[in-house]
Amino acid sequence: MNELKFTSRRQMVAGRFRMAVAALVVLTGAISGPAAAQNASWPNKPIRMIVPFPAGSFTDTVARVVSEHLSKSLGQPVIVDNKAGANGLIGVAEAARAAPDGYTLLLTNSSSITINHQVYKKSSYKPKDFTPVTLVLEAPFILVTNPEWSQKNSVGSVADLLQFATQYPGKISYGSAGPGNIAHLSFAMLNNRAKIKTTHIPYKSSAQAEMAVMSGELETAFDTWSALPQIKVGKLKPLAVSSSKRMAQLPEVPTLEEAGIAPFNVTFWIGMLAPAGTPPQIVQKLHTITRGVLDDGKAKAALGQQGDVVMIDSANFAKRIEKEDANWGAVIQREGITLD
């Protein structure tokens, strides 16, 4: 009799357990069903693409091409929203606070993600506040000099530049788009690797620094692809590129590693990110569609004027950000750079 009671009680407990599991399945379905349906229907309204730099800037130029491609492919407007200020801090922080629903994206450069939060104590975001979507474009820096100064001082190569800097410590001035900018840190790295001393002159933009080199106000700078037309007409003299391989546009110009500064492999990138927690299905869809730029002749050509079009997925993009974040952190700590 006792055995019968025990069996009956065990059956009752088992029955209640099955009912609880069934209820949980129904509840889970009720919760995940709408979310899954929402992800499947995304996008069903316009998307905002925050660019933390002014209209007409390098990053904005890339964003306009990408947003137009996405708009056509997704069937919804992708609206570029320029939130410039504080070297990108304002726009990036706003993107970090946005709802992770796929309707707010961030298109920005490497400095704003891997450097700013380490040099600005007031930064309210870190890389972990974002889900990387896809790399879009990358480019090396071009080490340029003023042609007249180069000729006058017999500086025709990286070796000549280093010899001059060694002979006259601090006499060479280089420019960048501001303290803590990736071009500034790259030159600080060059100083460290080559054991030379140069003087940093910050400007409000890379375009202003470029103009300063052309006018003779500065001797040198790490410039962007915007220097190519000026190099072509002889207004800037290229000495080296910062990547590990030569630029196709400047095949005769050596890399810094070839010039004896090794290791030295620096490129800056433009990429797309979303607020942390954005559904993986949306992130994957964005990557796939953005990668379609490679098959869009007009869009690819437009981006190709700014740098090398390189698309890597979310996971690999995240690894790259993590690595660069650590590398720049070491430079910033060694140089003791803080901006607030």
Q: What is the dihedral of CA 66, 72, 75, 80, to 10 degrees?
A: 30
- Rounded mean pLDDT, 57-65: 93
For residue 206, the model assigns a pLDDT of 85
Residues 6+ apart with CB under 8 A from 278: 100, 101, 102, 131
Kindly indicate the confidence band of residue 18, based on its pLDDT and cuts at 50, 70 and 90: low
For residue 306, the model assigns a pLDDT of 87
Q: Is the peptide bond before 169 cis (omega within 30 degrees of 0)?
A: no
For residue 6, the model assigns a pLDDT of 43
Query: CA-CA distance, 238 to 146, in Å (whole number)?
Result: 9
Q: What pTM was computed for the model?
A: 0.82
Q: Which residues pair with 237 in a beta bridge?
A: 145
For residue 79, the model assigns a pLDDT of 98
**Residue 146 DSSP class:** -
For residue 177, the model assigns a pLDDT of 86
Tokens 């490129």 belong to: 267
- Rounded mean pLDDT, 58-79: 95
Query: CA-CA distance, 265 to 267, in Å (whole number)?
Result: 7
pLDDT tens figures, 195-211:
999 999 999 888 899 99
Least confident range from 23-27, 189-193, 222-226: namely 23-27
Kindly indicate the confidence band of residue 1, based on its pLDDT and cuts at 50, 70 and 90: very low
- Rounded mean pLDDT, 168-192: 94
For residue 229, the model assigns a pLDDT of 95
pLDDT > 90? residue 99: yes
Residue 73 near residue 289, CB atoms below 8 Å: yes
- Looking at domain 47-138+268-335, its CATH superfamily turns out to be Bordetella uptake gene, domain 1 (3.40.190.150)
CATH of domain 142-241: 3.40.190.10
For residue 305, the model assigns a pLDDT of 87
Least confident range from 16-30, 193-207, 217-231, 309-323: namely 16-30
Kindly indicate the confidence band of residue 21, based on its pLDDT and cuts at 50, 70 and 90: very low
Q: Give burial (CB, 10 Å; 0-12/13-18/19+) of 41.
A: exposed
Rounded to the nearest integer, the mean pLDDT of the chain is 90
Per-range mean pLDDT, top range of 48-52, 177-181, 302-306: 48-52
pLDDT > 50? residue 3: no
Residue 80 near residue 272, CB atoms below 8 Å: no
- Closest by CA position to 278, among listed 111, 98, 156, 50: 98
pLDDT > 50? residue 90: yes
For residue 143, the model assigns a pLDDT of 98
pLDDT > 80? residue 104: yes
Q: Where are the domains of the chain?
A: 47-138+268-335, 142-241
Q: Which residues pair with 144 in a beta bridge?
A: 221, 238
pLDDT > 90? residue 87: no
Residue 179 near residue 337, CB atoms below 8 Å: yes
pLDDT > 70? residue 38: no
Same fold, 47-138+268-335 and 142-241: yes
For residue 5, the model assigns a pLDDT of 47
For residue 178, the model assigns a pLDDT of 85
For residue 205, the model assigns a pLDDT of 83
For residue 4, the model assigns a pLDDT of 45
Q: Which residues in the chain belong to E strands, given as ranges?
A: 47-51, 78-82, 104-109, 130-140, 142-145, 173-176, 199-202, 220-223, 237-241, 267-275, 308-309
